[in-house]
Amino acid sequence: MLARIFGKKSDHPLADVKSVQEMLENLPKNDAYKSLMELTDLVEWVTEHDDFKLDHQFAILRMIDEAAQPYSRKLSREYFTPFEINKFQENRLWSLLGNYYRQAANAYYTVFDRFCNADKGSNTIKVHIPLLTARAVHSLICHLKYISARYGQVDDRIWANLARLYKHSEQLQYLDTPVRLYPGMHVSTSVKCEVCRLLVWYDSGLSTLSPLYIHLAERIVEQYCSSISIQSELSGAVRVSFDLNNPTEPSRINMDATTHPAMRFIGMPTLQAKLEGLMKVLKKNIVPDDLSLGGSYEAEIVGNAVQHLLTYLTAPPVRRNLRRMANATLNVVNGFDQVVGRTDALQYNENNPAVWVTEEISIAGFSSILPSGSDGIGIGSLLGIQPEGMSHWGVAVVRRLLRDDANQMHAGAEILANRVACVYLNQSSSEFSDGQPALWLYPKQDDLSGGAQFLLMKADTFSASQSLKIQLGEKKYLLIPSGLQEKGLDYDLAKFKLIEQEADSEVVH
């Protein structure tokens, strides 16, 4: 690092503002990777340089951080892309961006801590304390985003630092002071706005989202952070609490729980209406120009993120089926084609399936620690599952991921069906032939679908205007589409009305 190269002398080039400006001007402007890497080193060095006066340390940190923003935005667009990127590039981007914001969060908090301790130069930056604190919280948000993109464990110090930043701004009465976070931004923010969006976004269920939707949810919450309130009194309008004396991740409100003066309660009285209004526009295939998402995204993708937030607001997740601890062994394959290969004798896949051992299991789902070599598993992955000793296969979808302190990834999966069969889809107007394969989902014991039939089809196969024919065993069926239930990574989950046909019947159109 630069500290080891130059040592900790007060006459180092970073001790002079003009020298810093020259260094920033000489960054490789066309190489965002290299520039952000060098800026990360500078942020780390400035943080560790304890013989700078505080006003100078803050000024240099601001310069470096502001210089980093264009590179950060460019690389963030590459990382949070709706298109698939190769693993090497993904790892490189995640490591670089995550490291920068880890260092930036540490740097701003270090300056904040020195200010609270009245270090030399504190009086000079007193006028800038709302900006310093808002940037400290903003850096925590970005730091959390890259932790969450890999479903990692969050260090408790993040919540402790957030609580101290909030308490300071509340006690010194600059919680609502408007600031322009970075030059060129047209919209003001505040410490309150940054804290509120961090808590609501984090509480919305990041372990159930892919990295792309983690990013979009954060940007959408940022857009409407003025619709979020934080208060010291518990009322029916609040949804989330944060304990300033015992800071941990935000928790859902329990109206019967004991409260104390150091608790803060987060409400979203108008957020649902704002999101519903946005959804109406998105359904017209329009992404509003004033919706800042840090990149260009199709209306359907943005709508999925908005729907997740609406579901969070209107129907918080509730476990409907009791899970029990159970070490059940499952053969597992990943992906629609792999499941078809296990259920269709003509396409049988000879590759050995992975072996998973469950931690908990219920009729609706299971959780398991992912074995090594499970890099392709993500939120929304379709799994073929075969319990040990069974001849048939079922299907499940990964709904939740979380990494523990030992760096082991835990997956939670919803079981769609305990048994599936491979069928071939044919247009209703054609003769039976070898059409496209699909998976017939046999109903579960608690199925309440009222006789509807569900099929898993290859992605982008379902058509609401196209009836289909299939043959299952000796029986032939006409499938009349009732709707697309879920659009997955490589599959469509569709609902049909089922009509059994006589062997010699003709379909009338």
Mean pLDDT of 462-486: 89
412 and 263 share one domain: no
pLDDT of residue 7: 41
Residue 321 lies in a domain: no
Using the predicted structure, report yes or no on whether residue 509 has a pLDDT greater than 50: no
Residue 48 is predicted with a pLDDT of 86
79 part of a folded domain: yes
Which pLDDT does position 489 carry in this prediction?
Answer: 87
Indicate if 353 and 423 belong to the same structural domain: yes
- What's the pLDDT at 259? 82
Question: Is 319 within a domain?
Answer: no
Asked if 381 and 481 sit in the same domain, the reply is yes
Per the model's pLDDT, the better-predicted residue between 326 and 25 turns out to be 25
Check pLDDT > 70 for residue 226.
yes
pLDDT at 281: 97
Mean local confidence (pLDDT), 48-71:
92
- Band (pLDDT 50/70/90 cuts) for residue 81 is very high
Claim to verify: residue 382 and residue 266 sit in the same structural domain = no
Does 154 fall in a domain? Answer: yes
Q: How far is CA 396 from CA 236, 364, 462, in A?
A: 37, 9, 19
Residue 506 pLDDT exceeds 70: no
pLDDT in the model for residue 8: 45
Whether 296 and 390 map to the same domain: the answer is: no
Residue 136 and residue 165: Cα distance in Å, rounded?
8
Q: What is the pTM of this model?
A: 0.88
Query: Would you state the pLDDT for residue 374?
Result: 82
- Is residue 433 over pLDDT 80? no
Residue 1 pLDDT: 42
Contact 459, 489 (CB under 8 A): yes
pLDDT at position 330? 93
Distance CA 59, CA 358 (A): 53
DSSP bridge partners of 409: 403
Same domain, 306 and 342: no
* Contact present, 427 and 461 (Cβ < 8 Å): no
Residue range of the domain that includes 33: 2-314
What value does the mean pLDDT take over residues 66-71? 97
| pLDDT per residue as tens digits for the range 229-256 | 999 988 777 889 999 999 999 988 876 6
**Does residue 450 have a pLDDT over 60?**
no
Strands 329-334 and 263-267: unpaired
Task: Provide the CB-side half-sphere exposure for 359 (13 A, CA).
Answer: 10
How do residues 118-130 score in pLDDT, each as one tens digit? 999 999 999 999 9
Residue range 39-49, pLDDT digits in tens: 999 999 999 87
pLDDT of residue 154: 93
Residues 308, 206: Cα–Cα separation, whole Å: 10
Is residue 289 over pLDDT 70?
Answer: yes
Q: Which of these ranges, 167-181, 193-207, 208-222, 310-324, has the smallest mean pLDDT?
A: 310-324
pLDDT-based confidence at 504, cuts 50/70/90?
A: low
> Is the pLDDT confidence value at 503 over 80?
no
- Asked whether 240 and 312 are in contact (CB, 8 A), the reply is no
Q: What is the mean pLDDT of the chain?
A: 89
Mean pLDDT confidence for 47-67: 91
* Residue 483 bridge partners (DSSP): 495
Q: Report if residue 146 sits inside a domain.
A: yes
Assigned domain for 320 exists? no
Q: Are residues 190 and 300 in the same domain?
A: yes
Residue 432 has pLDDT above 90, yes or no: no
304 and 401 fall within a common domain: no
Tell me which of 283, 314, 345 is where a domain ends: 314
pLDDT of residue 472: 86
- For residues 310 and 228, membership in a common domain is answered with yes
Q: How confident is the model at residue 15 (pLDDT cuts 50, 70, 90)?
A: confident
- Residue 483 to residues 204, 408, 454, 464, 494, Cα–Cα distance (Å): 27, 38, 10, 6, 6
Instruction: Judge whether residue 11 has pLDDT over 70.
Output: no
Our CA angle for 83, 88, 94, nearest 5°, is: 75
pLDDT for the residue 346 = 60
d(CA 411, CA 408): 10
| pLDDT given for residue 233 in this prediction | 87
Q: Structural domain tally of the chain? A: 2
1, 3, 340, 374 from 14: Cα distances, Å: 14, 11, 61, 45
181 pLDDT higher than 50: yes
| Same domain assignment for residues 452 and 403 | yes
Say what the pLDDT of residue 254 is.
73
pLDDT of residue 62: 96
Q: Is the same domain home to 217 and 148?
A: yes
Pick from 314, 348, 371: which residue ends a domain?
Answer: 314
pLDDT above 80: residue 431: no
243 burial via Cβ count (<10 Å: 0-12, 13-18, 19+)? middle
pLDDT above 90 for 180: yes
What is the per-residue pLDDT across 395-413, written as a single tens digit (0 to 9) for each?
999 999 999 888 899 999 9
Mean pLDDT within 145-161: 95
The answer on 307 and 337 residing in a single domain is: no
Q: What percent of the chain has pLDDT over 70?
A: 90
* Structural domain includes residue 488: yes
Q: Which of 314, 341, 376 is the last residue of a domain?
A: 314
Inform me whether the pLDDT recorded for 445 exceeds 70: no
pLDDT score of 2 more than 60? no
